[in-house]
């Protein structure tokens, strides 16, 4: 017997690393030392920082991977992987420096996994960070045919004096919501249940097919809609701060939706009063609500409802901030106010 008889193809693994080398090189930053293939990745802290602080984050893509595997479309979930990590560390004010990925599968399928890494490289370029390295684990018997899982790790840097930690937020600050690109990478287990078992809104019976298109959602198939990659907010937000816009707090709207994530950027004794009518809810969320008969509060506690990232700014910065993001083609909405309280998000019982 040899390792290949046990289901692990070492030669295919080496060929795979060679195949993705150009993708990794396309993300290189000036601070990166060395090349792909070592036991570790090396990266200097950029010049110009007086008191640099490293900021780290890790995340995955969740069951969105199931949809990619059903549709055999793998070039966007890598963008999701980077987005989930880079957007998280951005909330502290950090500039992403480098990214590492962990990719596990039952049997190495070079074409499929190369598409995944292509997406990771695209996400890294969008976030401005280097794909410094990663690990591809072939685990026969652990994952089924065609299955794989992803995890990502991002490290960034911020000047200590520029860290956002809730202490800058003031009563009266306004909430600016930045539009999501769709479902992003949270709530997909509920989405899958709705697609498989949901009440059909036209015709008879229950359940939908990932390949079908629905009149209310446009020409894309359901699978294509829900595979739309998570928006990466790094570049416009870092540039906004560099341009002098005052941002007191930031929140990445992920699992738990607005009620769980917005309070994470507040200070002590603060809550948020939101006005749901202030932003447009994309049709896909209304479709999910109807097809799955999902109560309103469950929608808010599961999905981003059209807001993928939020900023807390002083009242006199509302209009400049809205103008800044609208020129970048990202929808931006004044959607609420910081009020006295104990960390609640108020107002979400209203109809969206």
- Per-residue pLDDT, averaged over 81-98, amounts to 98
Average pLDDT, integer, range 305-319: 98
pLDDT digits (tens, 9 = 90+) for 173-226: 999 999 999 999 999 999 999 999 998 887 778 899 999 999 889 999 999 999
C-alpha–C-alpha distance, residues 94 and 251, integer Å: 13
pLDDT band at 3 (very low <50, low <70, confident <90, very high): low
Given a cut of 60, is residue 2 above it in pLDDT?
no
The residue written with tokens 């599968």 in the block is: 105
Please tell me the predicted confidence (pLDDT) of residue 1: 66
Residue with tokens 């007086």: 50
* Pairwise pLDDT comparison (37 vs 54), residue with the higher score: 54
Cα distance between residue 41 and residue 36, in whole Å: 8
Asked if 249 and 166 touch (Cβ cutoff 8 Å), the reply is yes
The β-bridge partners of 157 are 54, 95
CA distance 187 to 255: 7
For the cut 70, the answer to whether the pLDDT of residue 107 exceeds it is yes
Distance CA(50)–CA(130), nearest Å, equals 22
What pLDDT does 24 receive? 84
Mean pLDDT of 49-65: 97
Which pLDDT belongs to residue 206? 87
pTM of the predicted protein model:
0.94
> pLDDT band at residue 323, thresholds of 50, 70 and 90?
very high
pLDDT class for 339, splitting at 50, 70, 90? Answer: very high
Q: What is the per-residue pLDDT across 283-295, written as a single tens digit (0 to 9) for each? A: 999 999 999 999 9
39 pLDDT exceeds 90? no
The mean of the pLDDT values for the chain is 93
pLDDT score of 45: 95
**For residue 6, what pLDDT band results from cuts at 50, 70 and 90?**
low
What is the SS3 assignment for 128?
coil
Q: Is the pLDDT of residue 50 over 90?
A: yes
Per-residue pLDDT, averaged over 81-95, amounts to: 98
User: In this structure, are strands 130-138 and 249-252 parallel, antiparallel, or unpaired?
Assistant: unpaired
| In the predicted structure, residue 17 carries a pLDDT above the cut 90 | no
Residue 274 has pLDDT above 90, yes or no: yes
Exposure on the CB side of residue 233, measured as CA atoms within 13 A: 32
pLDDT at 164 over 60: yes
Query: Given a cut of 90, is residue 47 above it in pLDDT?
Result: yes
Taking the C-alpha atoms of 106, 18, 75 and 325 in order, what is their torsion angle to the nearest 10 degrees?
Answer: 130
Q: Which candidate, 205, 195, 206, 215, places its Cα nearest to that of 66?
A: 195
Cα–Cα distance for residue pair 131/200, rounded to 1 Å: 43
CA distances from 91 to 84, 94, 148, 276 (A): 12, 7, 29, 23
Q: Provide the pairing of β-strand 174-179 with 307-313.
A: antiparallel
Q: What is the pLDDT of residues 258-267, one digit of tens each?
A: 999 999 999 9
Check pLDDT > 70 for residue 320.
yes
- Domains in the chain, ordered, with CATH? 10-162 (3.30.1330.10), 174-346 (3.90.650.10)
334 phi-psi bin (left φ>0, alpha ψ -120 to 50, beta other): beta
What does the block give as tokens for 242? 């560099």
Tally the residues of the chain: 352
Helix residue spans in the chain (DSSP H): 10-25, 64-71, 77-90, 110-127, 188-197, 222-226, 234-242, 257-261, 283-292, 296-302, 318-326
Q: What share of the chain is helix, strand, coil (3-state, %, to 5)?
A: 35, 25, 40
């Amino acid at each position: 017997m040899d390792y290949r008889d046990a289901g692990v193809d070492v030669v295919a693994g080496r060929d795979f690393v060679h195949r993705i080398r150009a993708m990794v090189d396309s993300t290189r930053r000036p601070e990166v030392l060395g090349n792909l293939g070592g036991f570790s990745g090396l990266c200097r802290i950029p010049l110009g920082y007086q008191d640099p602080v490293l900021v780290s984050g890790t995340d995955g893509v969740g069951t969105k991977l199931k949809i990619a595997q059903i549709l055999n479309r793998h070039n966007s979930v890598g963008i999701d992987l980077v987005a989930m990590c880079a957007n998280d560390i951005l909330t502290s004010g950090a500039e992403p420096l480098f990214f590492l990925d962990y990719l596990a599968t039952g049997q190495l399928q070079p074409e499929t996994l190369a598409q995944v890494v292509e997406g990771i490289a695209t996400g890294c370029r969008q976030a401005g960070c280097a794909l410094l390295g990663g690990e591809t684990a072939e685990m026969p018997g652990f994952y089924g045919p065609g299955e794989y899982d992803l995890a990502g790790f991002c490290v960034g840097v911020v000047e200590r004096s520029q860290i956002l930690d809730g202490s800058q937020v003031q009563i009266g600050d306004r909430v600016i919501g930045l539009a999501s690109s769709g479902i992003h990478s949270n709530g997909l287990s509920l989405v899958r249940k709705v697609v498989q078992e949901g009440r059909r809104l036209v015709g008879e019976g229950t359940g939908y097919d990932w390949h079908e298109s629905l009149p209310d959602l446009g020409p894309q198939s359901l699978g294509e809609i829900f595979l739309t990659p998570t928006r990466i907010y790094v570049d416009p937000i870092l540039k906004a701060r560099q341009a002098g816009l005052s941002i007191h707090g930031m929140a990445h709207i992920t699992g738990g939706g607005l009620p769980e994530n917005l309070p994470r950027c507040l200070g002590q004794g603060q809550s948020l009063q939101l006005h749901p009518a202030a932003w447009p809810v994309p049709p896909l969320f209304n479709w999910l609500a109807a097809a799955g008969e999902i109560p309103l509060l469950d929608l808010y506690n599961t999905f981003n409802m059209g807001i993928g990232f939020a900023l807390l700014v002083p009242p006199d910065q509302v209009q400049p901030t809205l103008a800044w993001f609208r020129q970048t083609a990202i929808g931006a909405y004044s959607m609420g106010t910081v009020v006295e309280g104990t960390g609640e998000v108020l107002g979400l019982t209203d109809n969206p």
